[in-house]
Amino acid sequence: MDAWDNFQINCVRVGGNKRFFEFLRDYGKERESINKKYDTTIANYYRKRLSAEAKSLPFTESQPAKSVSEEAKMKLEATSKFFSDTNQKYAISAKTSAAADVVAEKTSAAAASVASGAKSLWARAKELAKRKEKPAEGQVVEAITAAKDEGHDDAPEQEIVEESKKEETNEEQTIDAQ
């Protein structure tokens, strides 16, 4: 005759066929074949829970989902908890925010530098025009492009073109007069 140990006796006392049948009914598996009943994640979960109860140990594993939508919801909650815990543990949000602030500062400084460079190019083109020196074509194009890049839609292109035309007309009149 087989001798049962205390653990086996406690498992029968805590569990039993009726309780297992009711558990399977919650999942719609109570009418499955014996192999399908006992060889599933649901049955495995039940065995673990029953074992913990028989040993009077706490059991924290979450119950398997009863439907696909419930499983998706559980996975979403677990993932959200993981990211929340990870963020809390490693202060990812704070570090990311600080890094974003540094990038913003550097971007602002670079933008200011570009703006001052564009202004200086434009100022140089105007200076050349005032001194009635014909600027090199590349300098005019650089000044116009820089001004447009800075959002000056009233780009100095028209002004430079008009000044250049006036200079050419004045030069032609001077040559004709001689």
d(CA 178, CA 165): 20
The pLDDT assigned to 45 comes to 93
Rounded Cα distance, 38 and 22, in Å: 14
DSSP SS3 for 108: helix
CA 125 to chain centre: 44
Token pair recorded at residue 150: 């800075």
d(CA 155, CA 148): 6
CB-based contact 156:122 (threshold 8 Å)? yes
- Measure Cα distances from 52 to 9, 10, 60, 65 in Å: 14, 10, 10, 20
pLDDT digits over 43-64, tens only? 999 999 999 999 999 999 988 9
Cβ neighbors of 64 (< 8 A, separation 6 or more) are 27, 41, 42, 45, 71
In the predicted model, residues of the chain with pLDDT beneath 50 are: none
Check if the beta carbon of residue 13 is closer than 8 Å to that of residue 53: no
Token match 């014996």: residue?
34
- Tens of pLDDT along 87-105? 787 777 777 777 777 777 8
Q: Which three-class secondary structure string do you get for 154-167?
A: CCCHHHHHHHHHHH
Residue 172, φ and ψ in degrees, nearest 5: -65, -40
pLDDT at 80: 87
- What's the pTM value of the predicted model, to 2 decimals? 0.44
